[in-house]
A and B are shown apart, each in its own frame.
Chain A
Amino acid sequence: MLLFVQEVVAIARNVRIKAARAALDMTQKALADAVGVSRQTINAIEQGEYNPTIKLCRAICRVLGKSLDELFGEEE
């Protein structure tokens, strides 16, 4: 059950970042360059394979114009 919940959160996170990026017509590479990380890191975050530090979360939010809750908050 816990695994299922974690998977749902990971998938949701993936979709939210990807959607926010797509809305700005931004590639993974462009977002990576903007926040100062590699493209593989952005890809891993979107895939739910890597949990970024709060510092990187905030940088991503700043670039995508979203709040921490909107991109990384738990689903209701």
Chain B
Amino acid sequence: MKKQRDAVLDEMQNAKLLKLEATGLWLTFWLLTAAIVVQALLGFSLREIAGEFIVLLIASVYIAVSSVKNGLWTRDSSPSLRASALASLIPAFAMGAFVIVRSLVFLHKPFEATLILRAGIYMLVVYALCFASMEIMRRIYRKRLDILENADEEDKE
């Protein structure tokens, strides 16, 4: 089945199609993320956005696991403790902004100290979760890379 599909396209067309598919994947990924954020801001319940959320989660896990399995991280950076610490700030601040914007703009609640406290707690939780996930993935990645790079020459891996 796969052979038949491959035979239709030559190598350049195949490379072009892969590029288009990759662009399509990332476009879908970010649009889906945006859709979830907007729906959450508008007050949709978790049950109402569960479908999109599960799809995004499956896609994310697939990309992360298959990349690490193949000894790949990102195109332009190497994994490190510092990189994990810095990268985790992005979702943490995004979560903080989300909590504040949702409360003030969409739920029309007054600005109070408890809001800042709540946003801070959410930020800390998200930061800790992201940092822990990235560090676990980094350790698995390092182990996997070691196996791939030090495999016997006769081995397939």
Binding site for B on A (CB under 8 A): 36-38, 40-41, 44, 50, 52-53, 55-56
Contacts and interface: CB of A to CB of B under 8 A. Distances in A.
B96 to A, nearest CB: 43
Interface of B: 10-13, 15
Contact of B12 (A36, A37, A55): A37
A56 B11 CA distance: 9
Contacts of A50: 12, 15
A62 B75 CA distance: 36
A52 B10 CA distance: 11
Interface of A is mostly: loop
Contacts, number: 21
A66 to B, nearest CB: 20
Nearest to A53: B11
B7 to A, nearest CB: 9
A37 B15 CA distance: 13
Contacts of A44: 12
B150 to A, nearest CB: 27
A53 B15 CA distance: 11
Nearest to A36: B10
9 contacts: A36-B10, A38-B10, A38-B12, A40-B12, A41-B10, A50-B12, A50-B15, A52-B11, A53-B11
Contacts of A56: 11
Which residue, of B11, B12, B13, B15, has the highest number of chain A Cβ atoms within 10 A?
B12
A41 B9 CA distance: 10
Contacts of B15: 50
B14 to A, nearest CB: 10
B6 to A, nearest CB: 12
A76 B108 CA distance: 72
Nearest to A35: B10
Contacts of A41: 10-13
Contacts of B10: 36-38, 41
